[in-house]
Amino acid sequence: DTAVSQTPKYLVTQMGNDKSIKCEQNLGHDTMYWYKQDSKKFLKIMFSYNNKELIINETVPNRFSPKSPDKAHLNLHINSLELGDSAVYFCASSAQGRPQHFGDGTRLSIL
Amino acid sequence: QKEVEQNSGPLSVPEGAIASLNCTYSDRGSQSFFWYRQYSGKSPELIMFIYSNGDKEDGRFTAQLNKASQYVSLLIRDSQPSDSATYLCAVSESGGTSYGKLTFGQGTILTVHP
């Protein structure tokens, strides 16, 4: 059973399009996160939700909009995709007071 | 700007040797410290976490924390070729009930050669 699952695994799209990435965790965790890993492998947090409430919102263009319909799901919608958005996006989750566990990542390529 | 610094490597060690990976952090308020291993094309996988000064051992892995020096390290004993990966140091300012935001270093590439 996959603990933190993301879909799609790969996403290739044109500049200017709008796309969404979905994340689900079956660990019963109460906090979920989105991270971006760039071409230099630097991993940086974007957003975090705790029990559906946004608790971390880093300096991210407002083209990126997270949404948590319930504490097991966290989606990321990206409007007007740009070349610089090409990266691997990781979802992670954690329980109260416990380390974060990562999903397999979504590899986004903008043409 | 809170920073986490690692030597990007690559660090190359022979099989069976001890690999020593180092990390420094700038925020004195940091409470929790993590080491993740990331194989090429895969997701980060938690190896160790530590929040008290001193050493914490788990199998072949030992995490060492010195808050006064703002320094955390990971030792891998009896290194194996399967240990070849990028090792990410991560730091959180939150302690207590939630680890909160993780700030990552740029990662150290470790290569263990037979």
Report the mean per-residue pLDDT for chain B.
91
Which pLDDT does position B100 carry in this prediction? 72
Among B6, B5, B31, CA closest to B101: B31
Chain A contact probe: residue of B99, B103, B110 with most A CBs at under 10 A: B99
Which pLDDT does position A103 carry in this prediction? 96
B99 pLDDT exceeds 60? Answer: no
Note the pLDDT tens digit of each residue in B1-42: 669 999 888 999 999 999 999 999 998 888 889 999 999 999
Among B90, B111, B94, CA closest to B102: B90
Q: How far is B113 from chain A (nearest CA, A)?
A: 23
Which pLDDT does position A96 carry in this prediction? 76
Q: How confident is the model at residue B97 (pLDDT cuts 50, 70, 90)?
A: very low
Chain A contact probe: residue of B98, B103, B108 with most A CBs at under 10 A: B98
Query: Contact A109/A39 with Cβ under 8 angstroms?
Result: no
Which pLDDT does position B29 carry in this prediction? 85
Residues in chain A: 111
B95 pLDDT exceeds 70? Answer: no
Among A87, A90, A82, CA closest to A15: A82
Q: How far apart are CA B33 and CA B12, in angstroms?
A: 24
Q: What is the mean pLDDT of residues B52-79?
A: 95
Query: Contact A32/A46 with Cβ under 8 angstroms?
Result: no
Following CA atoms B46, A95, A24, A5 in sequence, which dihedral angle do they give, to the nearest 10 degrees?
10
Which pLDDT does position B82 carry in this prediction? 97
B98 pLDDT exceeds 60? Answer: no
Which pLDDT does position A51 carry in this prediction? 85
- The token pair at B88 is 């990410």
Q: What is the mean pLDDT of residues B84-113?
A: 84
Q: What is the mean pLDDT of residues B98-110?
A: 84
**What type of residue is B69?**
S
Is B18 an interface residue toward A (CB < 8 Å)? no
Residues of chain A with pLDDT under 70: 1-2
Q: How far apart are CA A80 and CA A82, in angstroms?
A: 6
Which pLDDT does position B96 carry in this prediction? 47
Enumerate residues 27 to 56 of chain A having a beta carbon within 8 A of any beta carbon in chain B.
Answer: 31, 40-45, 48, 50, 55-56
Which pLDDT does position A53 carry in this prediction? 87
